[in-house]
Each structure stands twice: as C-alpha cells, then as structure tokens.
Amino acid sequence: MIELREVSWDHPDGDRLRADQQAELAVRYGRLDSEPGPKPSADDMSIFFVAYDGTEAVGCGGLRTLDERHGEIKRMYVVPERRGTGVARAILRHLEVEARSRGWDRLVLETGDEQPDAMRFYEREGYTPIPNFGYYADSELSRCYAKAL
C-alpha cells in the first residue's frame, strides 16, 4: 500500500530521492546538469510529496504553480527497484487530484529525450506532446507534455 505524504522541500527523504534522480539523469545525459532553467526550490514549489511503502521512501513528485489555472509537474521520480509496480501512477494521480483541488485545469511537464520510459509512461497516462514551453522552448533535449484535468 503506497501512502503519499506532503513534506517540506528540504525533508531528508525528498532530498535523497531528488539527489538519486539527478545522479541517474547525469548518467543518462553524460553531464551533471541537463535541465534548462531554474531548478525547483522551496520558494517556487507549491507542494511536494514523498511516496512511502511502509517506512521506505520509494518515490516523489511535486507541483509548481505557473498561473492561477495551470501547474507544472516537477521532480517526479520512483526508485528503480519499484518501477512498474504502480508507484509512479499513484504519485501522478495524487498530483492530479491536488492540482484539481487548486482549481487548475491543466498540467504540463518536461522530460528529456534520453528518458523514453518516462515519455511512454506519461503518454499512457493521457499526457500529449506539446511544443516546448518556457525555459524548455529552445532545448533540443526537452520533450514537453500536457493534460487537461
């Protein structure tokens, strides 16, 4: 049973999961920093969740407000040994419910061209490719998606 808990941006479990995500992306992209634009921070993240299986932190994800009706999914991550077990879907569904509760009618996200597993996941979950937006507009590595809520 996966439990999603709202935590502060600097919560140790969230810090560890985000560090693991960034280390994995550094291997995939061959460099430490492949993300365009400002990194998410406590100042700009609207809400952040960690997924737990019992006491074990197995994934995370958060929302960044773009405007009064739209948000961006940030730092969606599941530990490798738990991929394909429904953790990512539980996190995503939770983020969508949270977005609707804020009155948002659309979510967007950015992933990268070296993350075909993420692209397949989001497409299966009803997200459709859109032109790169914001900080990602000129990034050849970025792939952007949106879903109407």
82 in Cβ contact with 2 (< 8 Å): no
Residue 74 falls inside a structural domain: yes
Residue 27 falls inside a structural domain: yes
Average pLDDT for 95-106 = 98
pLDDT single digits (tens) 107-137: 999 999 999 999 999 999 999 999 999 999 9
Residue 66's pLDDT is: 96
Residue 114 falls inside a structural domain: no
Grouping H, G, I as helix, E, B as strand and the rest as coil, residue 15 is helix
Residue 81 falls inside a structural domain: yes
Reported as a pLDDT band with limits 50, 70 and 90, residue 41 is very high
Reported as a pLDDT band with limits 50, 70 and 90, residue 11 is very high
Q: What does the alpha-carbon distance between residue 146 and residue 100 come to, in Å, rounded to a whole number?
A: 14
Supply the range of the domain harboring residue 96.
Answer: 2-105
| CATH code at position 74 | 3.40.630.30
Amino acid symbol at 100: R
Residue 42 falls inside a structural domain: yes
Average pLDDT for 99-108 = 98
Residue 45 falls inside a structural domain: yes
φ, ψ (nearest 5 deg) of residue 86: 100, -5
Q: Which of 76, 21, 81, 75 is nearest to 53 (CA)?
A: 81
Q: Which long-range contacts does 114-118 make (Cβ < 8 Å, 24+ apart)? A: 114/28, 114/29, 114/141, 115/25, 115/28, 115/143, 117/83, 118/76
Cα–Cα distances in angstroms (integers) from residue 74 to residues 1, 40, 55, 100, 107, in the given order: 23, 7, 23, 16, 11
The total number of structural domains that make up the chain: 1
